[in-house]
Amino acid sequence: MTTETRNIPCLITIFGATGDLSHRKLFPSIFHLYQQNQLDEHIAIIGVGRRDWSTEKFRNEIKASVEKHVQDTEKLDEFMEHVFYQSHDVSDPSSYEELLTFSNELDSKYQLEGNRLFYLAMAPQFFGTVTDFLKSSGLTETDGFKRLIIEKPFGTDLASAEELNKQIRRSFKEEEIYRIDHYLGKDMVQNIEVLRFANAMFEPLWNNKYISNVQVTSSEILGVEDRGGYYENSGALKDMFQNHMLQMVALLAMEPPISLNSEDVRNEKVKVLRSIRPLKESEVKQNFVRGQYDKGQIDGEQVKSYREEDKVADDSNTPTFVAGKLLIDNFRWAGVPFFIRTGKRMKKKGIQVIVEFKEVPMNLYYQRDSELESNLLVINIQPNEGLSLHLNAKKQVQGIETEPVQLSYSMSAQDKMNTVDAYENLIFDCLKGDATNFTHWEELKATWKYVDVIQNVWDNDKAPFPNYRAGTNGPIKSQLLLSIDGFKWWDDIN
């Protein structure tokens, strides 16, 4: 629940501070909050890492990163005076004793009121170790708040997620744990709730009486690049579908909460995720399609196949593409399929939601055997943030023929996928104590329970990979997934 709106005193301790995420996202985001006066002089940041660096060396590295990723660097030198570094061994108790002493010194110097935010930007296998030591060292014993931000992946299946959750809960309460999903920090993802609940024209139509299907697509033109080792152990199902994609489904399908309190919003999301019709193993093949990219052309350049990428097995069974059909068994959505698609090395880059409305009962404007164009609500999350409404209108000629028209609103033409802004929003939310756009354990448990069934089937069934060329819209079978129900992917809609 939000208790304060701005200028919250806090000591932010970032584990894994010398890593790529910290340099590209976290420090540029925190700096921008400082620059926008959302943070003030009562703030201090400790970067924790294995490298034997001095604070001066660390500041120089961070300053260079901020200058690279933030256009306006006014107040950067002032901000850097609040940034410090400690070389740290996460398995050594003495490192935490030194961190406690340093934290207390900074708390006193900057009048931080005992508020502490710990950000674990590191491999998940260290989460339990770090949180145990944070408690045993006394770092979590404070008069102010203590909060923990952790990155995905949170486990590799339900069993490992439950074990990890038990470890972390030894040191932090559920309301103190902020499981970050950067998709939930995107402005247009957060706008889904506003679009639905602040506009009387949409909410009465937001149900199975008027909507025929919902499509959610997240496509990338990039391959796995230097993440082959990680991706081999996750694939598109765990890297994208289990978290980002199902979170968007929850926002699209949830009932109106009784308030915008984080707990009320989360409760409605959990209800949706629990209402997704469970799959039997025998149903996976007819409801889900997996793919892996072959060599092909992207923007006129030849690119290699997934199996040719660095740290990827020659006979890899890892999917780089997943498409699925979900059914939500509740009163609002009974019978409405939600089609989800995510993949790498696809034809274009974008994150898009398309809500297709049902046809009018009788076509009065064409021949009886003709169909009107579908009414669509298109929510573009990336790259061109905005929305459009596709309607039918009379042609500007004699007669009564119709033509499709588009009412559009574009928020920005800038590609903001996984940029500073998403992390900036989420870090600020955490400082305020607003957990609305973070993943609750019950949400996580519901998504892993659903995904485990799919993963178990795929683990025991060798796929005929590769099965789609780079630069295309994925396997042909993903088209059939919709055509069986009389639908199609709206690939060329903006």
Binding residues: 50, 89-90, 152, 182, 186, 220, 239, 344, 349
Say if residues 393 and 405 touch (Cβ distance below 8 Å): yes
Q: Contact 26/455 with Cβ under 8 angstroms?
A: no
> Is the distance from CB of 211 to CB of 358 less than 8 angstroms?
yes
Strands (E), 127-245: 146-150, 177-179, 211-219
- Least Cα distance to 443 among 273, 233, 229 occurs for 273
Query: Which residue spans within 146-228 are E strands per DSSP?
Result: 146-150, 177-179, 211-219
Q: How many DSSP H helices and E strands does the chain contain?
A: 16, 18
Which residue type sits at 175?
E
Asked if residue 103 lies in contact with residue 118, where contact means CB atoms within 8 angstroms, the answer is: no
Q: Is the dihedral of CA 267, 450, 150, 319 positive or negative?
A: negative
**Residue 203 to residues 192, 193, 194, 466, Cα–Cα distance (Å):** 12, 10, 11, 42
Catalytic residue check, 69: no
- State the CB neighbour count (10 A cutoff) for residue 228: 19
3 state SS of 159: helix
Q: Which of 390, 387, 389, 391 has the alpha carbon at shortest distance from 410? A: 387
**Taking the alpha carbons of 246, 251, 252, 256 in that order, is the dihedral positive or negative?**
positive
Annotated binding site for NADP(+): which residue ranges? Answer: 50, 89-90, 152
End-to-end CA distance of the chain: 36
- Active site residue: 23, 88, 244, 440, which one? 244
Question: Whats the size of the chain, residue-wise?
Answer: 494
Which positions make up the binding site for substrate?
182, 186, 220, 239, 344, 349
Quick one: three-class SS letters along 76-113? HHHHHCCEEEEECCCCCHHHHHHHHHHHHHHHHHHCCC
Asked if 427 and 180 touch (Cβ cutoff 8 Å), the reply is no
Can you read off the two tokens belonging to residue 277? 């019709």
Q: Residue 356: in which H helix or E strand, if any?
A: strand 350-357
Return the active site residues. 244
